[in-house]
Structure 1
Amino acid sequence: MQVTYGEAAKALTLNGFSRIGYSFSGWNTQADGEGAVFVDGALVSDLTESIILYAQWTANTYTVTFDGNGSTSGTMDPVSVTYGAGAVTLTSNSFSKTGYTFSGWNTQADGEGTAYSDGDSVSDLTSAITLYAQWTIITYTISYDGNGADGGSTDAQNVEYGGTLAVSLNGFTRTGYSFAGWNTQADGEGTSYAAGDEIADMTSILTLYAQWTADTYAVTFDGNGSTSGSIPSVSVTYGAGEVTLPANGFTKTGYTFTGWNTQANGGGVSYADGSSVSDLLSDLTLYAQWTADTYTVSFDGNGSTSGTTASMQVTYGEAAKALTANGFTRDDYSFAGWNTAADGSGTSYADGAEISDLTADLVLYAQWEKDDGAGAGIALLALATAILIVLFVAGAVAAVHYNVIRP
């Protein structure tokens, strides 16, 4: 502009300059602001020489404010950034939001603006800005621990904060045990869950431990043809140690108990009387095993004068056997069968009779009948008669005395 000395003062032309990041603060006759100062639009007059006025600039200072953008706790003070004064490090985030992880800042709440990482530096702002905390929803994992399982698996499950999931069905197996649910502690002292229970609003990862109950099985005893006796069943709990089987209480006439077997015909697993069992995987029936008793029948001549009769064996339950034919003899006697008593007062058996199902050894005594002496007596009587006839014919008187002795 032109200023003529002596004329009325003129207003300085208003500033038309602009400078990014700075505000116009007036004019100065020196660039460094060390000369005469003029405000924008000031009146000047009576200049004695031409002058150059230098625009003076003041760096702008802008505020960075922090918005928790849905945070549930925490506060942050704003930061001032002066243009041209160098970078300023952003204050580290102190907001938190339950169920979410802080993932940085953005100039828009929806994350569609300019992104900044936590602790980034900013400089040369041209306006105040608000930085909005950005949040990533946390995904929590429920993992399943077999807690002693020896087979199977159960897949982990993922759920976002605020979501709900159903506890998984068990896929583990453990020999000798039944699954009894889940618990947040291996020892079962935590929170229990059944399959299908719902879990909501998780705030941390979770491990659920399978809970197990030891199986208890019954050992029952079958007499397998016994004729008397009984044995109460026994309970055996898996993992609880050995259980001694009770002594056999069955009996079977004509048989001796020889132990137990898992099959009636003895084709299974054998157990001795009084054995121990443990860690069963199912109920168990033990069948008594029996061996037929074999008894000896011996023969006593009971006064015989010669001969022998071989003893014989009779096994209980087998077909009847004929008694060994008598081989004894006795002078002047005839064999008249057998008897369980020497005097014939017991049970009688004919020679060659069949016998079976003995329950003890047996001695049979030969029975004898005296041979009959009638023929000799008749001869003696005939002789006596002849003598008497002779005596009477002679006419003599005589007394005849005789004894007839039967042999």
Structure 2
Amino acid sequence: MKKRMIKLMTIFCMAGILTVNPAIIGLAEEAEAVGADVSEGTEEVEEKSVEEETEPEEEPAAEEDVEKVSEEEPETETEKSDVVLEEEAGEVSEAVMSVNEAAMPVMMAAENEEEGAAEEKYVLKYVYNDGTTASSSDQDNTPFNKSYPLKSKPESNKGLHDREGYDFIGWEKGGKIYSPGATYEVTDEDRNSKNITFTAVWRQQVSLSVDGEKVVPLTVEENATEAQVTYNLSEVQLTAPENYEFANKWVINDNGTPYDATDTMTVKFEDKNNTQVYNAVSVNVDGNTDVPIENNTINLYSCWKPTKGSDFRITNGTGYDNFQIKAKDTTNNGTSYISALSDTDKVEFSANGWTLVKTVADLKKAAKTPIYAKKSEKDVNYYQCYALTVTDQDFVKTVNVIYKDQFVDTVFYNAGTSAGNSCSKSAEIHPGVIGQTWANILRDNITAKRGDFKFAGWKYFLNGKYEIEDTKKTEINFYNDTSLTVQPVWEGQYTCKDTGYPQSESGVPEPVTGSAVVGDSISLPERNDIKGRANNLRYTFAGWLGSDGKTYASNEKYTIEKANMSFESQWKAVPYDLKFVDKDGTVYSEGKADYNSKITWPSKPTKEGYTFQNWLVEIYNEEIPVEHGEELQMFDQNTTFTAQWSINSYKISYDGNGAAMGVPAETVEQNYQTDYTIDTVVPTKTGYTFQGWSDGTTTYQPGAVFKVPARDVVLTAQWRANSHQVKYDGNGGKTSAPESKSADYNSNVSVAAGLEKDGYLFDGWEQISTGKVLTPGASFVMPDMDETLKAKWKIAYTGIYEAGVYYLIQGQSYILGPGRKAQGDSSTYTANVTIYVPQSGYYTFE
């Protein structure tokens, strides 16, 4: 143990941490010998160069500088303690004067080493990604369950490593990135492999240019990762063009797409080749959209919107060199950018002798949505504008083709979709076009249908008046023609069919159909009666019902007078008795219903205290349950439906109606018409006397019994307010105080009128219980006790300035105004005089 202590001090001395005190070393049995060893070892370290200390067995690879710990066993204990510290700068003196990254593991290894134990060796590598590597210091006998401090910089004995255009952000091992200077915990896998390698991780530096200005490198903000960095844009200064304001949008790298601007810009990086080198791949300025980038320079171009009116970028698409644009007394030739137009301004386009005038509002509507574009190729900014291309097709006249029939039941179809009783098409024609006929703009995909009419062609009416025969030969007059009305031509059709033919063994006869000119006659077929189960008669033939609402007999001749006529065979169903009843004999509904007709249900029956379940019906000697309202056809027999019921239960609860206590909390549920006993507890409520429990119609006393009605019952406590006296105290008033009166608790009590008192003015009624002063006519809420209202008074006046009779109060001082004096007083007063009254009473002043 003593040898281990001396060996540890020897290591500390060599590292420049501890100065050896001979007195301390002398405590060991071999102090003198060991001290000599330490001294010699220290001198040897100071004299040796780094090159003499360690001789690698073989030359390391070009991109890695690897140091292997010697596997030879030292001969003496002193040699065991000697540690060669290799600093990245290559200076032995620096190794002695400071503790480097390898010193602490060495000292810990020495402290934990058992005497005579074999050393455990391993290789530690730092790969810098720039073609150079350097090894760490010797990790003599370092346990692999200890931690290791990583380098804070990519620095080796060859100096500081750097990758041009990149920032060093940490070390990678096993797919995990460690921060510079972080502590790495050695794993069992490291212990088994005896090889630990850390690779430097680099992230590309990013520069920014705004509106083509100088490229400025960006400073990395906090919370950056290898894959994402957010930069602050809040301090970017922009100079607004005249009559424009910043639109809070950026165009990135001149790609023409505006993105919403925020105060930050986020750049994402990727290590595409798994080399721990992260290059910029996209930028995001709006918080949502990642825009791919090809290099580390990001160019942002500002977007501006006009503060006055709207801008337009008009493109000449007419093909004419004489295309002109006139706006706000300014003429522009060809494609132009026009600024600051108001919605009421008009823009005139001209080309090849034709003129087109549009309001700015119309142009904006045609463009729909503004875009951001440059005013010219030399411009670096983008401006909000409406983009339009004017072609020769814009110089047009509109004519209409109207499809309309005189029959209201005609339906037009546009490409198979119903267009109603009429439809139209607007066509644009251009001046000077030869051979432009009505046939060119007629719609081939328009069809017409009118019930069962047969379509036989079209009729054409020019401008709604004149019929034309051939639309292919009739040219459109650009100046005079405005519309072409198209009407369908129909042939009358007739059909005799058995749509409602009853089911029978003989089957349904084939319908007789055809078309004919109005006036032709047809013969209607004949039908036989139909029987059903048990040879019961179900239907009798009743003739043919025409679409004109008339019934025709068999073989009757019918002359077609309408465009469409149909006949359907009519059958009269045999009626049977239909009843809806209750078990108690109640009849809800009774009557007759035709066979196979839809059964009409009566109103759903109700029964106090019961819930309707369904109906029970006997059909062909079998009882069948049927839901109310279920869709059924009448049977070929007399039918009776009997109602089925279930008894109801109802909830009974208590409402204290403001009670302070004594209200039963439970809610019970009992069947209809069973006995319920009211709880015997009597509730209490401040200011009130309990009167009983009310179910809304009857008030019951605690313990009473009643039959459960056909409803939920809430027993509400009934209260009678306590009555108290309101008393008045005149407090010396000349007039009598009002008489006392009774008032219920919590009711509003109106205060009586004021009183009179010589020499005083009434100043309200003081409410004794609260101390509040109430004016006549005011009100207060009656407390749960008697209340006294006491009159309050104040001196009527303190000075006499006019002649007259005054009631003065004994002991009260008054001011006698100039020229005033008591009657009989011969004195003359020219100023105010204070007088004192010897006795209350009336006094006359002159």
Q: Above 0.5 in TM-score?
A: no
- By percentage of residues, which structure has more helix? 2
Instruction: Give me the TM-score of the superposition, normalised by structure 2.
Output: 0.18
Instruction: Give me the TM-score of the superposition, normalised by structure 1.
Output: 0.34
The one of the two structures with greater contact order (alpha-carbon pairs below 8 A, sep at least 6) is 1
Q: Which has the larger radius of gyration?
A: 1
